[in-house]
Amino acid sequence: MKNRKSDDNVLETNQNADKNNTAAISPRKRQMYLKVGFIGLLIAATLWYVLSTGSRIARQYSSLVYATMEIRLDLAMAHLRLEEFIVDNQSTDIKEVWYHIDQAEWYAQAMLEGGQSDTETYIPTDDPGLRQSIVEVLENIKTFRSIAKKRFADEDKSSIDSDNQERFHAVFESLIKQADDVETALLQIMVRDTNRFRLVQSALIVICFILTGVIGMILHRFEQKQSVYLSMLKASNQQLKASEQQLKAINQQLKASEQQQKAINQQLKASEQQLKSANQQLRAGEQQLKAANQQLRASEQQLKTYNLRLLESQQKLALHVQHTPLGVIQWDLDFKITEWNKAAERIFGFTSKEAIGRHAAGLIVPESVKEIVDKVWNDLLEQKGGGRSTNENITK
């Protein structure tokens, strides 16, 4: 009976010890879960910041660069249409000039206050220097409109003011230069903000790695504590071997401990899956940033190409058509005249209205050589190589 009571006392003591150990480890579990959850929230917040900031920079600066391109294009089209109207007011509608000036003014205003078009959402810039430059562009657009209206009024009066014409060209060139300066400043600001964002992104990535290490340390310490707890259970098993009842109780405790261990292992696996998912999200964010950088570089290349083409077109129009002393004649594929400049009028004596639409033969080339000239023209169209024909020209 004494042994029975002694065994019962030992069993009761060990059960009480197991209960104390279980009660001691539960708060540790809660603390571990709270720490892991808190670190997971920090990583999620970091990923959200990286993705949202990168997306905002891409949207804002791509729309602003597009707006500067549209300003230059609309100003160039307004300048070209007004010049075409002055040369031949029947071929161009003057409303197109005012429309392009209105569009350029709208895009400049959108860069200051924001706006929404059919294809783009324009986020206003908050840089003081850039905003001041855009305000100056707006003022010059208004000046450009005023001078254009005066040139249009002079055209109606059949008296073109050369000073007003020179001022019109000067204001146009100044506007194009200002738009280029705004775009250059915008690109510099974009590079500056992008570099800052990269620094912040790198710092956040380092922080994420550090937090991942902290999670690993927490889990490692938890496993160590679990090992200590299992050692205590093993010692209890050795003490309970003297009694069958004690062995049964210990076996039940071991089964419960195994269930707890399985649950902990499942939790550890879930934590590993969460870490893998977080790493995948980080890699996806890096890919998106790389794609955004490639799009920005492609936009910069397209913008440079457009600038070169626009400059070349303006130079050709200004130098070879408006100011050349040589006669410039343009034909269509049927060898009919489509363009006849002032120098051609002085050389041949025919006005542009008399020349445009007529075949070269019979106007400036005698009808007797029409077949020879037509053969040379057809060879050029078929790209068979050049032919040469020297003929007497007809003047009025």
Q: Nearest 10 degrees: CA dihedral of 252, 254, 260, 266?
A: -120
What CATH number belongs to 329-381? 3.30.450.20
Residue 29 structure tokens? 């579990």
Residue 322 predicted with pLDDT over 70: no
Pairing outcome for strands 337-340 and 329-331: antiparallel
Q: How confident is the model at residue 10 (pLDDT cuts 50, 70, 90)?
A: very low
Rounded alpha-carbon distances, angstroms, from residue 182 to 8, 70, 145, 386 = 90, 13, 20, 47
Q: How confident is the model at residue 11 (pLDDT cuts 50, 70, 90)?
A: very low
Question: Position of tokens 């994420």?
Answer: 208
The one-letter amino acid code at 358 reads: R
Whether the Cβ atoms of residue 379 and residue 386 lie closer than 8 Å to each other: yes
Helix (H) or strand (E) holding 115: strand 115-116
Q: How high is the mean pLDDT of the chain?
A: 79
pTM of the predicted model, to two decimals?
0.42
Distance CA 64, CA 183 (A): 8
50-54, 80-84, 100-104, 326-330: least confident range? 50-54
Residue 22 structure tokens? 């279980």
Nearest to 64 by CA among 188, 195, 201: 188
pLDDT for 84-139, tens place per residue? 887 766 566 788 889 989 998 898 898 888 888 877 788 888 888 888 988 888 89
For 124, the 3-state DSSP assignment is: coil
* Core vs surface per residue 113-132: b (16+ CB within 10 A) or e: eebeeeebebbbbeeeebee
Rounded alpha-carbon distances, angstroms, from residue 381 to 218, 247, 374, 389 = 81, 107, 10, 16
Nearest to 177 by CA among 136, 147, 125: 136
Round the CA-based radius of gyration of the chain to a whole number and report it. Answer: 41
Structure confidence at residue 161 (pLDDT): 56
Residue 6 predicted with pLDDT over 50: no
| CATH code matching the domain that covers 2-322, chosen among 1.10.10.10, 3.40.50.620, 1.20.120.1730, 3.30.565.10 | 1.20.120.1730
CA angle 39, 40, 44 (to 5 degrees): 120
Whether the Cβ atoms of residue 353 and residue 379 lie closer than 8 Å to each other: no
pLDDT for 339-368, tens place per residue? 888 888 888 899 989 999 998 888 888 888
**pLDDT above 90 as % of the chain:** 3
Structure confidence at residue 342 (pLDDT): 87
Helices (H), the chain: 2-87, 94-113, 128-156, 162-240, 244-315, 342-348, 352-355, 370-381
Residue 257 predicted with pLDDT over 70: yes
The one-letter amino acid code at 187 reads: L
In a 13 Å sphere around the CA of 28, the CA atoms on its Cβ side amount to 15
Structure confidence at residue 70 (pLDDT): 87
Pairing outcome for strands 121-122 and 115-116: antiparallel
Structure confidence at residue 54 (pLDDT): 67
Domain with CATH 3.30.450.20 in the chain: 329-381
Q: How far apart are the first and last CA of the chain?
A: 146
Rounded alpha-carbon distances, angstroms, from residue 204 to 350, 351, 364 = 75, 72, 76
Residue 290 predicted with pLDDT over 80: yes
Q: How confident is the model at residue 296 (pLDDT cuts 50, 70, 90)?
A: confident
Structure confidence at residue 3 (pLDDT): 47
Residue 34 predicted with pLDDT over 50: yes
What average pLDDT score do residues 269-284 get? 85
Stronger pLDDT, 24 or 283, i.e. the higher one: 283
What average pLDDT score do residues 182-207 get? 81
Nearest to 4 by CA among 251, 238, 244: 244
Domain with CATH 1.20.120.1730 in the chain: 2-322
Helix (H) or strand (E) holding 331: strand 329-331
Whether the Cβ atoms of residue 120 and residue 63 lie closer than 8 Å to each other: yes
Distance CA 138, CA 115 (A): 16
